């Protein structure tokens, strides 16, 4: 894995960990609701959908590597992301809608 990708992933995981600490929730293993709330937080910051997708992928990978396979469930988080994409599209911002 390229070094810049490693750094980006580490940054994503650090941000999630800090957010979890600040909200007094467990980062690993995270509950599906925690991930959905985190995605909502990133959407509120108006992060690009691709950045949010990367965050979700990094969090899922960290769970898998730590032995929490299939956790957290991303269904609710991806619904939040879909809404964020739609809102950005309605506002003329980049980002496409996945069905």
**Is 98 domain-assigned?**
no
CA-CA-CA-CA torsion sign (10, 17, 32, 26) = positive
Query: What global pTM score does this model have?
Result: 0.88
Task: Report percent pLDDT > 70 for the chain.
Answer: 94
78-95 b/e (C-beta count within 10 Å ≥ 16 → b): bebbeebbeebeeeeeeb
Domain that holds residue 46: 3-90
Q: Is residue 95's pLDDT more than 80?
A: no
Query: 31 in a domain, yes or no?
Result: yes
CATH number at 53 reads: 1.10.150.130
Checking if the pLDDT of 98 tops 60, the result is no
In a domain, 99, yes or no: no
N- to C-terminal Cα separation, the chain: 30
Beta strands, E only, 5-94 = none
Q: pLDDT grade, residue 5 (50/70/90)?
A: confident
Residue 15 inside a domain? The answer is: yes
Q: What percentage of the chain exceeds 90 in pLDDT?
A: 86
Res 94 pLDDT > 70 = no
Q: Which backbone phi and psi does 95 adopt, to 5 degrees?
A: 125, 130
Confidence band, pLDDT 50/70/90 cuts, at residue 73 = very high
In a domain, 48, yes or no: yes
In total, how many domains does the chain have?
1
- Average pLDDT score over residue span 18-43: 98
């Amino acid at each position: 894995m390229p070094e810049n990708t490693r750094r980006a992933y580490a940054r994503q995981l650090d941000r999630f960990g800090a957010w979890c600490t600040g909200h007094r929730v467990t980062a690993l293993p995270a509950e599906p609701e925690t991930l959905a709330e985190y995605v909502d937080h990133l959407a509120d910051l108006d992060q690009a959908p691709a950045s949010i997708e990367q965050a979700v992928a990094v969090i899922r990978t960290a769970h898998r590597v730590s032995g929490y396979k299939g956790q957290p469930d991303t269904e609710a988080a991806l619904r939040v992301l879909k809404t964020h994409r739609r809102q950005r599209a309605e506002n003329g911002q980049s980002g496409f809608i996945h069905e």
